[in-house]
């Protein structure tokens, strides 16, 4: 099994462009990419960022061939396309791991799981947990996976047909240090 894993991070096309007038790439994918680059786990994550408003629409059948992990974020106006991408990814590539997050999915993990068929939804910021989360999703299946996912703070996932949500600590130590990820 290869120690190199391909990760594609997608910001879906918005229905009316971001903020209705211009396409603005958000920095979340850059931060997650940086976090995976500095992660010291069993895998090396080869990362690609796909911003549909600039790169064009992704064809999940062709463009996700050979991809191990798909990460999708969404604002409310991007959610229908985000869910479509994730569903099609699972349809065409049943073994692909799908992770959702962002302002729409984080507070509504049930919606994201139902419409997008995601394996996991990250609640709030994810740079501090993304390496561990990817490792767990690649290394474990079934009940074993659920046991390990339950130990990762700030995520939602399915167990026995219900969405489980792990908690993050509260207080001043709950926030991710802004210098946690080194960006170019």
The pTM score is 0.90
What's the angle, vertex CA 170, arms to CA 168 and CA 171, rounded to 5?
A: 145
> DSSP for 57-86?
---HHHHTTT-SEEEEE--GGGHHHHHHHH
Residue 52 has a CB neighbour count (10 Å cut-off) of: 18
Per-residue model confidence as pLDDT tens for the chain (184 residues) = 689 999 999 999 877 655 555 556 677 777 888 889 999 999 999 999 999 988 899 999 999 999 999 999 998 889 999 999 999 999 999 999 999 999 899 999 999 999 999 999 999 888 889 999 999 999 999 999 999 999 999 999 999 999 999 988 776 566 666 666 766 5
In angstroms, the CA 81 to CA 128 distance is 27
In angstroms, the CA 9 to CA 105 distance is 15
Angle formed by the axes of helices 142-149 and 130-139, to 10°?
Answer: 170
Question: At a CB cut-off of 8 Å and minimum separation 6, what does 66 contact?
Answer: 6
């Amino acid at each position: 099994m290869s120690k190199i894993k391909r990760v594609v991070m997608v910001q879906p096309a918005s229905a009316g462009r971001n903020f209705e007038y211009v396409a603005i790439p958000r920095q979340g994918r850059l931060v997650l990419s940086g976090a995976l680059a500095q992660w010291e786990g069993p895998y090396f994550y080869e990362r690609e960022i796909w911003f549909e408003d600039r790169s064009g629409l992704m064809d999940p059948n062709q463009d996700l061939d050979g991809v191990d992990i798909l990460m999708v974020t969404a604002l409310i106006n991007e959610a229908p396309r985000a869910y479509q991408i994730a569903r099609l990814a699972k349809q065409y590539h049943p073994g692909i791991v799908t992770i959702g997050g962002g302002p729409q999915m984080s507070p509504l993990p049930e919606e994201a799981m139902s419409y997008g068929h995601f394996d996991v939804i990250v609640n709030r910021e994810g740079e501090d947990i993304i390496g561990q989360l990817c490792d767990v999703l690649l290394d474990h299946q079934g009940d074993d996976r659920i046991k390990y996912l339950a130990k990762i703070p700030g995520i939602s996932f399915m167990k026995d047909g219900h969405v489980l949500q792990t908690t993050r600590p509260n207080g001043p130590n709950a926030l991710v240090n802004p210098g946690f990820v080194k960006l170019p």
